[in-house]
């Protein structure tokens, strides 16, 4: 007669694994939440807020010169949504639009050059790429995994193409400047509901996120050092 296997050790192991995974996720979420709260606490200080605000105004004013750009607050950051004319399923920038980026790029360098030494690294520029919610059809992309990854890769390429233009047009590189790129696929739609065909165009966009490093700004102010920013002429 065969002995019945005891399933409880396997169940116990599975339960333990889930507990560990949940705890790890909780720690990660808590750490992120704590960092955001700490940044908010620092930015709530009048002197830190004033210093951050004047730098944000100087930099966002430059990028507001891009056609149809819209500025908004996004948490502790300042965001500019830019409807770069990307074609469906494409990441390449139209030739006619490159001159706009080139002009803004030169002014961005001038704005940063007006910051005292060191202050130009206190505001990070994150170029975010976005797609609409459409997925490639099964005839075009047969592999389910490739279909899933399609918009993630497309949004990353859109952000990267802007980053490349900044580098190619006027030498704004991630090594010299506090700048990076990230793709968000269709997870952060500007227009809702995202599956409405009228929202496809507005959601194919690039967002320029300006993130102030409140900790560095606060530390500099504690040493009595100020950043006097000279606005770039229009």
Q: What are the pLDDT digits (tens) for 77-92?
A: 999 999 998 888 899 9
For the chain, percent of residues with pLDDT exceeding 90: 41
Please compute the mean of the pLDDT values over residues 195-208 and round it to a whole number.
93
Q: Supply the pLDDT for residue 197.
A: 94
Inter-residue contact 105 to 169 (CB < 8 Å): yes
Strand (E) positions, the chain?
A: 70-74, 77-82, 123-129, 179-183, 206-212
Residue 33 pLDDT more than 90?
A: no
Count of CA atoms in the C-beta half-sphere (13 A) of 60: 23
Over the stretch 106-138, which tens digit does the pLDDT of each residue have? 888 888 888 887 788 899 999 999 999 998 877
Query: Of 100, 93, 116, which Cα lies nearest the Cα of 64?
Result: 100
Secondary structure class of 124 (helix, strand, coil): strand
Question: How do the domains of the chain map onto residue ranges?
Answer: 8-44, 46-222
CATH 3.30.1330.60 applies to domain 46-222? yes
Query: Higher confidence at residue 40 or residue 226?
Result: 226
Q: Higher model confidence: residue 208 or residue 42?
A: 208
């Amino acid at each position: 007669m065969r002995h019945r296997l005891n399933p409880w050790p396997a169940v116990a192991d599975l339960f333990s694994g889930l507990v560990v995974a949940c705890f790890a996720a909780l720690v990660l979420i808590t750490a992120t939440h704590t960092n955001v709260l700490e940044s908010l606490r620092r930015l709530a200080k009048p002197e830190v807020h004033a210093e951050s605000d004047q730098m944000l105004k100087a930099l966002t004013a430059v990028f507001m010169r891009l056609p149809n750009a819209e500025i908004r607050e996004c948490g502790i950051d300042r965001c500019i949504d830019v409807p770069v004319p990307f074609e469906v399923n494409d990441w390449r920038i139209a030739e006619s639009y490159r001159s706009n980026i080139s002009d803004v790029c030169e002014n961005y360098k001038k704005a940063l050059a007006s910051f005292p030494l060191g202050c130009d690294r206190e505001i990070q520029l994150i170029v975010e790429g976005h797609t609409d919610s459409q997925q490639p059809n099964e005839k075009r992309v047969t592999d389910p995994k490739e279909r899933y990854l399609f918009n993630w890769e497309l949004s990353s390429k859109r952000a990267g193409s802007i980053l490349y233009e900044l580098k190619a047009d006027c030498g704004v590189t991630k090594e010299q400047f506090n700048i990076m790129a990230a793709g968000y696929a269709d997870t952060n739609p500007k227009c809702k509901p995202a599956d409405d065909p009228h929202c496809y165009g507005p959601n194919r966009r690039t967002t320029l996120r300006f993130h102030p490093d409140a900790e560095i700004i606060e530390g500099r102010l504690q040493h009595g050092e100020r950043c006097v920013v000279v606005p770039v002429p229009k």
